[in-house]
Amino acid sequence: MLRAEYQTRGPVPQDVIEAVNFEPPELKEGEVLLELLASPINPSDVLTLTGQYGILPPLPAIGGNEGVARVAEHGPGVSAPAIGQTVLLPVGIGTWATHMVAKAKSLIPLPNEVDPIQMSMVTVNPPTAYLMLSEFVDLQAGDWVIQNAANSGVGSYLIALAKMRGLKTVNVVRRESLVAPLLSVGADVVLVDGVVDGRSLAERVKEATGGASIMLGIDAVGGTATARLGDALSEGATLVNYGAMSGEPCTLAPGVIIFKDVTVRGFWLAKWFRTATPERQQEVYGTLTGLIATGKLVAPVHATYGIADIKEAVTVAAGGERNGKVVMVADHLLR
Residue 157 a catalytic site member: no
Bridge partners for 239 per DSSP? 217, 264
Q: How far is CA 316 from CA 21, 94, 100, 160, 205, in A?
A: 23, 20, 24, 25, 31
Q: What are phi and psi of 129, to 5 degrees?
A: -65, -45
Q: Which of 6, 53, 157, 305 is catalytic?
A: 53
Integer Cα distance of 52 and 247 in angstroms: 10
Question: Which of 56, 124, 114 minimizes the C-alpha distance to 90?
Answer: 124
DSSP helix/strand/coil, 81: coil
Strands 99-103 and 31-41 come out as antiparallel
Integer Cα distance of 199 and 262 in angstroms: 22
CA dihedral sign of residues 49, 18, 317, 94: negative
Residue 284, class by beta-carbon neighbours within 10 Å (0-12 exposed, 13-18 middle, 19+ buried)? middle
Q: Strands, E, within the chain: which ranges? A: 2-6, 17-21, 31-41, 61-62, 68-74, 86-88, 99-103, 108-109, 144-148, 168-173, 189-192, 214-219, 238-241, 263-266, 301-305, 325-329
DSSP helix/strand/coil, 101: strand
CA dihedral sign of residues 122, 272, 248, 46: negative
**Enzyme catalytic residues:** 53
